[in-house]
């Protein structure tokens, strides 16, 4: 029998724990793992975890740096300046954006950490945060922890999956203090142009709303087009920050290295919060991250080419089975419409049970994600084609 300590006091979590949104995709992972445990050959296209290894020169840098006794001590609380200089150099080269390493760069334990922290830094209970729908669910988590309120900005294909600022209620604008944007977009794979960001800066200034640009997929653009950074927009630093991660650009998801960049006062507050929570990243990881940012960028170009080839293979196969969808402009996702009469979740369940293919139901990203599934370009071309062929055999299109 299991041990029961009858003397243990009752544990009652704080209210904020029950306010946290349900981790929708934990259930997806459970379903996938159960199917695999039954012995099925499952093609998992439902997650956003890069499938390729970190480039070897970055790994070598890490291996060598671990022997440095300086890194066996606590790192500076806000991180080593050489890493901040490295991201500033990369932004200057890639986006022609000048960043002060001392005042406009904060080192983060992965982009997710910064996105959740920002809501706690800026929002009081009752404040409003504007979030994209569909969008990355962890935006909701930070808002919940802050005791603030969400107001969804619908992203629909008719408007190129860009929020329509003039559709936001005046009362919501009065209470809104923060807005999240994400381009190239997860889950829709849409991109934003310079004109949209110019409109965004003007909107933010007019209504005194901080802009948080989640640029996690900033390096992944297709058809010869580099995604636009929010910070390239005149006035962007006056109204917000951008979050950049090495997870996707250099296949370093497990290394947990990211940055907040831009507005000096926001950066100061991020560093202040992190002073109370962390002692920065292991120094050897910081050195390897600097090598990624300042070393040869051929691996980034090669990665984009790989995802573009996968995209093209996937969509050629989709055309063969009659599944019509919009070609992704960036990120490593495809956003595919669900056939009638299915919901996004029942369709995803069907594909797992009948085709052993995992896709992410759109409803997990918000109400306006219903009617779609997200497919990751995170398998070799032949496996992507095989997944589509399995689905085609179900004669749903």
* Average pLDDT, integer, range 93-108: 98
What pLDDT score does 106 carry?
98
CA 365 → CA 24, 133, 159, 340, 378, distances in Å? Answer: 9, 7, 18, 20, 19
What pLDDT score does 80 carry?
97
Query: What CATH number labels 15-53+299-392?
Result: 3.90.1150.10
* Average pLDDT, integer, range 239-267: 97
56-294 folds as 3.40.640
Q: How many Å apart are CA 254 and CA 370, to the nearest integer?
A: 30
Q: How many Å apart are CA 184 and CA 45, to the nearest integer?
A: 18
Round the average pLDDT of the chain to a whole number and report it. 95
| pLDDT band per the 50, 70, 90 thresholds, residue 1 | low
Contacts of 167 (CB under 8 A, 6+ apart): 154
Kindly tell me if the per-residue pLDDT of 23 is higher than 80: no
- Name the one residue in this structure whose structure tokens are 């904020």: 16
Instruction: Locate CATH 3.90.1150.10 in the chain.
Output: 15-53+299-392
Q: Could you tell me if 145 and 18 are in contact, meaning their C-beta atoms sit under 8 angstroms apart? A: no
Instruction: Locate CATH 3.40.640.10 in the chain.
Output: 56-294
Kindly tell me if the per-residue pLDDT of 383 is higher than 90: yes
CA 50 → CA 47, 54, 92, 195, 306, distances in Å? Answer: 9, 10, 26, 31, 12
| pLDDT band per the 50, 70, 90 thresholds, residue 326 | very high
Condensed to tens digits (0 to 9), the pLDDT of residues 193-203 reads 999 999 999 99
What pLDDT score does 29 carry?
86
Condensed to tens digits (0 to 9), the pLDDT of residues 359-373 reads 999 999 999 999 999
Condensed to tens digits (0 to 9), the pLDDT of residues 222-247 reads 999 999 999 999 999 999 999 999 99
pTM comes to 0.94
Peptide bond into 184 cis (omega under 30): yes
* Average pLDDT, integer, range 8-17: 87
Neighbours of 369 (CB within 10 A): 22
């Amino acid at each position: 029998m299991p041990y029961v300590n009858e003397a243990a006091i009752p544990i009652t979590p704080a209210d904020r724990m029950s306010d946290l949104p349900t981790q929708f995709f934990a259930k997806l992972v459970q379903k996938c793992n159960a199917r695999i445990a039954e012995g099925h050959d499952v093609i998992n296209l439902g997650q956003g975890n890069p499938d390729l290894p970190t480039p070897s020169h970055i790994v070598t840098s890490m291996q060598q740096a671990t022997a440095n006794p300086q890194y066996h001590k606590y790192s500076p609380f806000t991180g080593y300046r050489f890493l901040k200089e490295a991201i500033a150099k990369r932004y200057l080269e890639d986006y022609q954006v000048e960043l002060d390493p001392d005042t406009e760069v904060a080192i983060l334990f992965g982009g997710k950490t910064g996105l959740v922290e920002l809501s706690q830094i800026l929002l009081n209970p009752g404040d409003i945060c504007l979030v994209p729908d569909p969008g990355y669910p962890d935006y909701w988590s930070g808002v919940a922890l802050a005791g603030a309120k969400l107001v969804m900005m619908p992203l629909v294909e008719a408007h190129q999956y860009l929020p329509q600022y003039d559709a936001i209620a005046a009362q919501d604008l009065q209470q809104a203090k923060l807005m999240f944007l994400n381009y190239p977009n997860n889950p829709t794979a849409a991109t934003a142009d310079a004109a949209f960001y110019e409109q965004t800066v003007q909107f933010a200034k007019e209504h005194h709303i901080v802009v948080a640009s989640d640029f996690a997929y900033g390096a992944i653009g297709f058809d010869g087009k580099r995604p636009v950074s929010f910070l390239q927009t005149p006035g962007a630093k006056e109204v917000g920050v951008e979050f950049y991660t090495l997870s996707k650009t250099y296949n370093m998801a497990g290394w947990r290295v990211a940055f907040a960049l831009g507005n000096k006062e926001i950066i100061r507050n991020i560093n202040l919060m992190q002073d109370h929570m962390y002692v920065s990243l292991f120094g050897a990881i910081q050195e390897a991250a600097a090598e990624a940012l300042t070393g040869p960028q051929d691996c980034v170009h090669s990665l984009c080419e790989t995802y573009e080839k996968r995209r093209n293979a996937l969509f050629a196969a989709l055309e063969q089975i009659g599944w019509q969808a919009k070609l992704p402009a960036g990120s490593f996702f495809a956003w595919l419409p669900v056939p009638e009469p299915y919901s996004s979740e029942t369709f995803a369940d069907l594909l797992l049970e009948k085709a052993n293919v995992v896709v992410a139901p759109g409803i997990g990203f918000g109400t306006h994600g219903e009617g779609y599934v997200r497919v990751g370009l995170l398998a070799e071309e032949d496996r992507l084609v095989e997944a589509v062929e399995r689905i085609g055999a179900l004669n749903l299109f």
